[in-house]
Amino acid sequence: MRSDMLSRRAALVLGALALTVSPALAQESGGKIKIGVIGGGNIGGTIGGLWVKDGHEVMFASRHPENLKPLVDELGAKAKAGTPEEAIKFADAVFLAVPYKAYPELSKEVGPLLKGKVVLDAGNATERRDGELYAEAQKNGIGETSAKYFPGAKLVRAFNAANYKIFAKAGANGGKDRAGGRMAIPIAGDDPQALKVAEGLVRDAGFEPVVVGGLKDADKFAMGSPGFGHDVTAPELKEKLGLAK
């Protein structure tokens, strides 16, 4: 057998191994993973769509998966729609993109299925929409509050700190079209492996991840905080947040 065929076969085996061993490994080796996006609205549709364009398989979920047909039809063969339970079972990693007030209900419905899963959490609590949940997040921190509703999930706060229209523009064409370099996405989580997966998925969507710290540090870029709402590069975001460059 010729040596270039051998190395191609080795690369295929390594890729397959990486996928079965862990999503983090698959991400590090540039592999594609299966992503469950719970919530196929503004933010779920936008970021999930960027992952599909990068070659990941994505199952979008909501209480009414039939309403997600236009989204998945437009995205093509790598996109499908299902229930939250189906999407979690399908996925190596999950993206939570539902209104924050839905967290208690979603927790009852699928919380146990999320145990041990890497979960990127984009939810923001707002006073007008989320009432008691907003008060809880203000008191205990947004990261800790999400973790309370999804205990055992390997939670990473991600993609919460800007509007979906900004993400859609900055992430288009793998982020290559953005003047000045890729837009930075602040992320925070307690699980190192989940952070690695999240960093890979942020890059795959066309952005540059900036790890701000553990879940408690997610308040530094929560809605209404000084770290929220910046369409800037990674060095610029680090400066704003007082992080080492």
Contact residues: ligand NAP, CB under 6 A: 38-44, 62-64, 67, 84, 97-100, 102, 105-106, 122-124, 160, 163-164
By beta-carbon proximity to ligand NAP, the closer residue of 26 and 198 is 198
User: Cα dist. 106→57, 63, 92, 174, 206 in Å?
Assistant: 23, 10, 19, 31, 29
As measured in angstroms, the least distance from the Cβ of 192 to ligand NAP is 24
As measured in angstroms, the least distance from the Cβ of 78 to ligand NAP is 19
As measured in angstroms, the least distance from the Cβ of 106 to ligand NAP is 5
By beta-carbon proximity to ligand NAP, the closer residue of 18 and 202 is 202
Q: How far is CA 119 from the centre of its chain?
A: 7
By beta-carbon proximity to ligand NAP, the closer residue of 48 and 175 is 48
By beta-carbon proximity to ligand NAP, the closer residue of 19 and 125 is 125
| Of 123, 122, 38, residue with least CA distance to 87 | 38
By beta-carbon proximity to ligand NAP, the closer residue of 41 and 181 is 41
As measured in angstroms, the least distance from the Cβ of 22 to ligand NAP is 27
- For residues 57 and 88, the answer to whether their CB atoms sit within 8 Å is no
Strand pairing class (208-213; 184-189)? parallel
As measured in angstroms, the least distance from the Cβ of 199 to ligand NAP is 18
Distance between CA atoms of residues 199 and 97, nearest Å: 18
DSSP characters over 8-67: HHHHHHHHHHHHHH-HHHHHHTT---EEEEE--SHHHHHHHHHHHHHT-EEEEE-S-GGG
As measured in angstroms, the least distance from the Cβ of 16 to ligand NAP is 32
Q: Which residue is nearest to ligand NAP (CB)?
A: 41
By beta-carbon proximity to ligand NAP, the closer residue of 23 and 123 is 123
